[in-house]
Each structure stands twice: as structure tokens, then as C-alpha cells.
Amino acid sequence: MKFNDALQHIQEQIQKMLEEIGEDKIEKAMEYFFEANNIFVYGAGRSGLVGKAFAIRLVHLGFPTFVIGETITKPVKKGDLVVLISGSGETIPVTMTAEIARRLGAKIISITANPDSHIARFADLLIVLRPKKKIAELAPLGTLFEAAAWLFLDAIIAELMARKGENEESMKRRHATLE
């Protein structure tokens, strides 16, 4: 079955991608999250959906978090953190956001599959999630990057939970009550 082949391929590739992220990068990310006045997350398309899921969890942890492009987002300022997610690292709205965030003095974490990309050049911290082997009929387009980014960011949430002394119960108290 193609399903089983796809599942195996996706799992293997994501595992390899995530294993390459050094602990030094996680430590630097923790520093940026805890130092930030506000956290802003942005990506386009499916990467944007990954970013929104991450932003929700940051809110559940009590971080003042906003999704760039939403109508209730406050302005980015010096002392803020901007997390950008783009497989290509060249998506126009994301690259423009990197340039503006840099000009405003915010720290930038860029998550991309392309270490030579536009958003990589603006990053204070660069997280590269590049597949080693891509079989298009098993993981089309940006599937491997997006899935790896989702898992990476959920693991960041687990680390933030531990360092803040949070648990599922404390996070539930910040969960939306009107859905």
C-alpha cells in the first residue's frame, strides 16, 4: 500500500531532519523566548498553519503571542521575537516580514529548508529542516518540511513547559473557553 510506504518515508525523513538540530540551537531559542516582550509568528500557506498552531500553544503557556497578518496583532518592536516559517525561505510576504522585523530591532528565528535563503540571512537563529531524500509521490511539495516544523515546534513547547514549570492543567486554564 502506498499509505504504508508514505508513512514510513515521512517518519524516517523527519527523524533524520530533527536529529540534526543541535542542543545549542535549542538553548538559544529558549533564551529568545524568555527574553522577548512579545512573540510574533508568521508563515504563508501550510507553513502558516503550522505557525498558527505553534502560536496557540505559546498562548496556552502564557506568552504574549501574535500571528502576523491577523487584525488584532500589535506592532513589532525592539525587544520582541519574530518566528518565521518558510520551506523555501523565499516566500515574498515572509521575506518582507524578515526585513521589517530586522529594521525594527526584533530578534528573528527563521525555520526553513533552505540555509541560503532570504529569511536565513536575516535570522539571529537559523533552524534548517532540510529533507535528505524526498520521494515526491510519498511526500509531495513541502510535506516533509511542514511536518518536521510542526514536530520541532511542539518539542519547543514541551521544553518551554518544563522550564516554566507548566503542565497540561495550567495550560488548560489559558485555553479558549468560547470555541
Q: Which residue has the cell 497540561?
A: 168
Per the residue annotation, which of 146, 159, 169, 179 is the catalytic one?
Answer: 146
Q: CA-CA distance, 164 to 14, in Å (whole number)? A: 27
Q: Is 19 a catalytic residue?
A: no
Q: What is the 3-state secondary structure (H, E, C) of 30-88?
A: HHHHHHCCCEEEEECHHHHHHHHHHHHHHHHCCCCEEECCCCCCCCCCCCCEEEEECCC
The C-alpha cell at 7 is 508513512
Pick from 43, 40, 29: nearest CA to 152: 29
What residues are annotated to the active site?
A: 146
